[in-house]
Each structure stands twice: as structure tokens, then as C-alpha cells.
Amino acid sequence: MREFACWDKAVEMSIKGYQIFPLANNAKQPPKNHHGYLEATCDQETIFSWYQANPFRNLGLRLDTSNLLVVDIDLHSESNNGRQSLFTLQKHGMILPNDTYIERSPNGGLHYFFSFTGEKVHKANVWPGIDLLTDFTVIAPSELNGKPYQPVGTRTLANLKPAPGWITDKLKSTSEVKAVSSVRIKKYTGKLLDKIVAGTCQGDRNVWLTRLIGQLFMVGAEPETIKQLAYVFNEKFVDPPLLENDVRTIFNSILRREVKNIEYSNQ
């Protein structure tokens, strides 16, 4: 990425009224001591100070304040492939229009941008490999490992189409399911799963993940299972996600504590 590339884009977008925020170099997480989309702004002096401090930072876009929705097509694995899910949906008549603004992500995925007015949501894997976002997203020309987010074609955010009805219906149906489930009696496992999906945000991330990993040990899950789930939970349900090194540090700390507890109980 060239120096100040994201600052140039940030200035252009802020002039048009889009609220933006800084992300760390080569990452989707905010820089240390920043607060992700919660500090998104159009203020030129603030934006300049971010990139004056580090001209190679990536760029995030707050979506809800601009009435935007992003359909995020990810390519996680063969069993969690957003493109395959999209192909299956298309066979049933649920088609994403291509005449809206689209970006290609560094891993080969796609971000479809639509106009949308509704609740702020961050719903992961609504279909395998497909997320629905109305809170925030990474945006071009940000880079990950030297590969950029980049527009597909010549359209811009000025060329948005309304979110397709089947997408908004899906958001509505998930809200209805949530309302119905609230009348059921929840057992410990159900409460734990609800806590995971509810996620957490800046300021409570380390505590939330520490407690969650501890609870998974308490229910008897294998350490390697817990470790892998910790990475998944952090990526999908922590806003913004912690760095992988931080997740590893938290897990190892709790693992050592569990080992000591076992050794103590066997004395």
C-alpha cells in the first residue's frame, strides 16, 4: 500500500458524509487505544491525525449511520463456502444483483453493498460463508498481507441498489426467532450459547473471552476444542476482534490454571 492511500480515501468519503474509522496496518482490527466503529467520524482534523500518526493504516466504514448493508461472501473452507451458498440460493431464485457497488476482499471473497434502513446487526453465517452486516466493514483500499480490498467494476457507493427483499426478510425472520425463543426455559448450555452469539465489544473483550474459555473448560470440552472455538468466537462475536496473539495468551493462561487445579486435586 502506498503511503496515505487510505487517508486519501477517508477524506473523499468523509466529504460525502460517510463516517469512517482507522484500522491497524495489515489488519481488520483497530489500532491500539482506538475504539473501532464507535469512534467513526467525518471530521477532517481527526481523520488527518489518525493517518499522520501512521500513514499505512487500513480503513473502516461505519454502515448504520449511512443506511448501508453489506452481504459478505467468505471462502472459509469447503464446508463453509459463501460462493457455494450463493450458488445454491440463486438456484432457488434468491439472486444478488450485480448492478450495485461490490468490493473483492483479499481472500477472494466479495462484499455486496446495498442501501438499507433497519436495526444494526452483525449476523455471521446466516448461510454457510455468508454474513449480513449493518454495523461496520473494512473497505478499499485497505490491504491484508499485501492484497487489497478493491472495487469490482466502475460503480461506487453512489450507485447502490436497495437490499433485496429476500435479504431483508431473512433479517426479519431471525429477529422473530429471537422473540419466540425468549419464552423458553433455558438450561446452562442454552444460556452459554446465547452468551457466545451475543458477543461483546471494545472495553469488555478480554474479560468476556476469559470467562467464556473458563466456562468451556468447566463443561468438560477438550483443550484443543476450546482453543479452536476461542479463535472462531473472537473472529465472529467480538467487536472488534482481539489480535490472535491476545487470544492465544488468554487461552494459555487459563490452560495453565486448569492444569494447576488438576494437580492440586490429585495431591
The owner of cell 437490499 is 163
pTM: 0.67
Same domain, 203 and 231: yes
Same domain, 97 and 173: yes
Q: Does 8 score more than 80 pLDDT?
A: yes
Q: What is the pLDDT of residues 12-45, one digit of tens each?
A: 999 999 999 999 999 999 998 898 899 999 999 9
CB atoms within 10 A of CB 53: 10
Same domain, 88 and 28: no
Angle in degrees, 0-180, between the axes of helices 223-237 and 205-218, rounded to the nearest 10: 150
Same domain, 192 and 172: no
Q: Which residues of 191-228 are buried (b: 16+ CB within 10 A; e: fewer)?
A: eeeeebeebbbeeebeebbeebbebbbeeeeeeeebbe
Same domain, 45 and 98: no
Higher pLDDT, 239 or 145: 145
H/E run at residue 203:
none
What mean pLDDT is predicted for residues 56-67?
95
Q: Which of 119, 145, 180 is the last residue of a domain?
A: 180
Same domain, 171 and 110: yes
DSSP SS3 for 138 = strand
Q: Which of 39, 62, 85 is the last residue of a domain?
A: 62
Same domain, 82 and 153: yes
Same domain, 155 and 105: yes
pLDDT, position 116 = 94
pLDDT, position 82 = 87
Higher pLDDT, 60 or 260: 60
Same domain, 118 and 196: no
Q: Does 222 score more than 80 pLDDT?
A: yes
Same domain, 94 and 34: no
Q: What domain range is 146 assigned to? A: 68-180
- Count of domains forming the chain: 3
pLDDT, position 189 = 76
Same domain, 84 and 151: yes
Q: Which of 180, 200, 234 is the last residue of a domain?
A: 180
Q: DSSP secondary-structure letter at 202?
A: T
pLDDT, position 180 = 42
Q: DSSP secondary-structure letter at 100?
A: S
DSSP SS3 for 77 = strand
Same domain, 236 and 162: no
CB 102 within 8 A of CB 140: no
For 4-55, what is the HEC assignment?
CHHHHHHHHHHHCCCCEEEECCCCCCCCCCCCHHHHCECCHHHHHHHHHHCC
